[in-house]
């Protein structure tokens, strides 16, 4: 049950993580690695279709480019995507602040809760 | 990387035709990058089993393709019975099985009615609905079980499962179109046969005093030949798709042949005669023949229009073909 709840929590953060990471242009596999390196593991079967969906919604733009003799699809944030990301980050900070108030935890000097 | 290519072909077979090239190329780039990364980390090329492991971990081709569906539909009844992976195939199978059932049911019903076993509309509706409900329940049950089994389904990355050609999007339509065309032609021929041999079955006892005139016997063989060619056309283009290009030519030829038969009939007279001397009303016979006169001329005009339209389509197609 904990795994399912954890998965749900992560799923809710996926879009914002992907949009934030794509402030720099990347292609699918490199994006997945970059997110994983920062602690956001995403299954490739979730990430790649998500990128296409975000592009169809106008939040990302993509371009095919040859790299290392292979055609790759590079994604980056569109202007609309940047605007949506800014709003989502605002929302994220608001949720974070609310949660902190609800939990009522104070940061200990060493950063642990 | 033959394994990877085989896997990509399998995923492609489950994708909508419009997206196949795009998604396959993107997946190929990402999976190649993953394998090259792994090879670079190991300092050597990947072995076949290492490639298999990456492909296996990527997922069943059907499940992978399902994630790219624009509409992540499913069948839910309390809980999800059929998820997005199988839902598109489920809909196609349901449509085909129910469509074929309805077609067969109607044919059988018509044959029974002609043979004298009439049924009220309520009875027909009830039996038809029972059939459809059973079809729906059986197909849904099978797919619900398959969907439940899908996550744990074992598959071989060396021989990844491929969607059967007949179920691929865009592949089913030619088969269904051919079945419908053949069924319509057969029904029309049957209707015409009834018209000339048992007109009372269609028009009631009032038709008994009358019979088709001798002019109709002269067009039986040409009409039969036209019907056979019309039935053969969809079959041939299914069996030999490369002959599909000849189909517009054949269709135009059939149109012209039908026009020829209709013109021959229209130029005649006495399309309906008395079955026996004094058996019917001469004024009714005159009226029937007058209706035939105008109907045949109307059909000739309609067929000329069809010939012109099909000729125009053929001309456009010929112009579009590259030199």
Lowest mean pLDDT among A72-81, B17-26, B113-122, B147-156: B113-122
Instruction: Indicate the residue of A44, A45, A71 with minimum beta-carbon distance to B29.
Output: A71
Q: How far apart are CA B100 and CA B150, in angstroms?
A: 28
pLDDT of residue B132: 83
The number of folded domains in chain B is 3
Please say if the pLDDT value at position B84 is more than 90: no
Tell me which of B207, B236, B265 is where a domain ends.
B207
> What are the residue boundaries of the structural domains of chain A, listed by start?
2-107
Tell me, yes or no, whether B112 and B173 share the same domain: yes
From the CA of A111, how many Å to the nearest CA of chain B?
35
Beta bridge partner(s), residue A74: A27, A63
Considering CB atoms only, which of B30, B36, B59 is closest to A28?
Answer: B30
In SS3 terms, chain A reads as: CHHHHHHHHHHHHHHHHHHHHCCCCEEHHHHHHHHHHCCCCCCHHHHHHHHHHHHHCCCEEEEEEEECCEEEEEEEECHHHHHHHHHHHHHHHHHHHHHHHHHCCCCCCCCCC
**Given this model, what pLDDT does residue A113 score?**
46
DSSP classification of residue B118: -
d(CA A45, CA B17): 19
Interface contact B34-A71, CB threshold 8 A: no
Q: B182 with B282, same domain?
A: no
Nearest CA in chain B to A73: B26
Q: Are residues B76 and B201 in the same domain?
A: yes
Average pLDDT, chain A: 87
Question: Which of B46, B70, B94 represents a domain boundary (last residue)?
Answer: B70
Rounded CA-CA distance B22/A73 in Å is: 10
CB contact under 8 Å between A72 and B27, yes or no, is no
Tell me the per-residue pLDDT of B117-135, one tens digit each, with 9 for 90 and over. Answer: 666 777 777 877 887 888 8
Residue where one domain finishes, among candidates B52, B70, B88: B70
Higher pLDDT, B244 or B102: B102
Structure tokens at B88: 């598109």
> Distance of CA A28 to CAs A75, B26, B32, B167, B211, Å?
8, 8, 11, 30, 76
- B58 reaches A (C-beta below 8 A): yes
Residue B323: its pLDDT value, please? 45
Does any CB of chain A come closer than 8 Å to the CB of residue B37?
yes
By residue range, what is the domain housing residue B116?
72-207
pLDDT digit string, tens, across residues B267-290: 998 888 887 777 667 788 888 888
Whether ipTM > 0.85 holds is: no
The pLDDT score that the predictor gives to residue B250 is 86
Distances (CA, A) of A53 to A75, A91, A97, B87, B224: 12, 21, 30, 19, 55
pLDDT digits (tens, 9 = 90+) for B49-69: 999 999 998 888 888 888 887
Instruction: Kindly state the percentage of chain B with pLDDT values over 90.
Output: 16
In the prediction, which pLDDT does B194 show? Answer: 72
Both B56 and B111 in one domain: the answer is no
Mean pLDDT of B212-240: 83
Mean pLDDT (chain B) is 81
pLDDT in the model for residue B121: 74
Same domain, B88 and B199: yes
Decide if B55 contacts B7 (C-beta within 8 A): yes
| Helix (H) / strand (E) containing B212 | strand B210-212
Q: Coil, strand or helix: which one is B47? A: coil
Tokens of B195: 């018209």
Q: Does B27 touch chain A (CB under 8 A)?
A: yes
The model's pLDDT over A41-82, given as tens digits with 9 standing for 90+, comes to 888 888 998 999 999 999 999 999 888 888 899 999 999 999
Identify whether the C-beta of residue B56 lies closer than 8 Å to the C-beta of residue B157: yes
* Residue B19 and residue B52 share a domain: yes
In this prediction the pTM is 0.57
User: For position A29, what pLDDT does the model report?
Assistant: 92
| Percent above pLDDT 70 for chain A | 92
Domain check: are B121 and B165 in the same one? yes
* Average pLDDT, integer, range A95-113: 72
pLDDT tens across B233-277, in order? 877 766 776 676 777 888 899 999 999 999 999 999 888 888 777
Minimum-distance CB partner of A70 among B27, B32, B67: B32
pLDDT at residue number B303: 93
Whether residue B236 is found in the same domain as residue B306: yes
Give me the CATH topology for the region A2-107: Arc Repressor Mutant, subunit A (1.10.10)
CA distance B237 to B246: 9
Mean pLDDT of all residues in B175-193: 74
Instruction: Tell me which of B264 and A7 has the higher pLDDT.
Output: B264
3-state secondary structure of B232: helix
Residue B192 has pLDDT above 60, yes or no: yes
Say which residue, B33 or B150, is predicted with more confidence: B33
């Amino acid at each position: 049950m904990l795994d399912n709840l954890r998965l749900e929590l992560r799923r809710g953060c996926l879009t914002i993580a992907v949009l934030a990471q794509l402030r720099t242009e990347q292609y699918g596999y490199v994006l997945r690695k970059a997110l994983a390196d920062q602690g956001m593991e995403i299954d490739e079967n979730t990430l790649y279709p998500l990128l296409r969906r975000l592009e169809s919604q106008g939040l990302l733009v993509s371009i095919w480019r040859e790299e290392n003799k292979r055609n790759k699809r590079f994604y980056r944030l569109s202007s609309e995507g940047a605007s949506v990301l800014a709003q989502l980050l605002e929302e994220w900070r608001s949720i974070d602040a609310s949660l902190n108030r609800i939990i009522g935890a104070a940061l200990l000097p060493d950063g642990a809760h | 990387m033959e394994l990877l290519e085989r896997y990509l072909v399998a995923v492609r077979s489950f994708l909508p035709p419009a997206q196949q090239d795009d998604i396959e190329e993107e997946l190929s780039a990402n999976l190649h990058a993953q394998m090259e990364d792994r090879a670079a980390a190991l300092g050597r090329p990947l072995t076949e089993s290492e490639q298999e492991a990456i492909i296996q971990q990527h997922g069943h081709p059907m499940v992978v393709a399902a994630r790219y569906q624009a509409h992540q539909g499913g069948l839910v009844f309390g809980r999800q019975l059929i998820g997005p992976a199988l839902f598109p195939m489920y809909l196609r199978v349901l449509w085909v099985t129910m469509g074929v059932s309805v077609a067969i049911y109607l044919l059988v019903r018509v044959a029974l009615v002609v043979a004298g076993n009439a049924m009220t509309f309520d009875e027909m509706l009830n039996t038809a609905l029972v059939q459809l409900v059973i079809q729906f329940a059986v197909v849904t049950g099978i797919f619900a079980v398959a969907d439940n089994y899908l996550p744990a389904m074992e598959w071989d990355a060396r021989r990844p499962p491929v969607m059967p050609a007949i179920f691929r999007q865009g592949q089913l339509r030619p088969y269904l179109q051919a079945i419908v065309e053949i069924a319509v032609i057969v029904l029309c021929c049957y209707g015409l046969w009834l018209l000339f041999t048992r007109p009372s079955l269609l028009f009631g006892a009032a038709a008994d005093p009358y019979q088709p005139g001798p002019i109709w016997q002269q067009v039986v063989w040409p009409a039969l030949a036209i019907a056979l060619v019309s039935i053969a056309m969809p079959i041939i283009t299914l069996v030999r798709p490369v002959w599909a290009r000849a189909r517009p030519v054949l269709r135009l030829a059939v149109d012209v042949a039908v026009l020829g038969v209709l013109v021959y009939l229209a130029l005649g007279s006495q399309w309906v005669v008395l079955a026996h001397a004094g058996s019917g009303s001469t004024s009714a016979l005159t009226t029937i023949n007058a209706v035939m006169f105008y109907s045949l001329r109307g059909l000739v005009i309609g067929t000329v229009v069809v010939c012109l339209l099909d000729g125009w389509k053929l001309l456009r197609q010929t112009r579009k073909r590259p030199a």
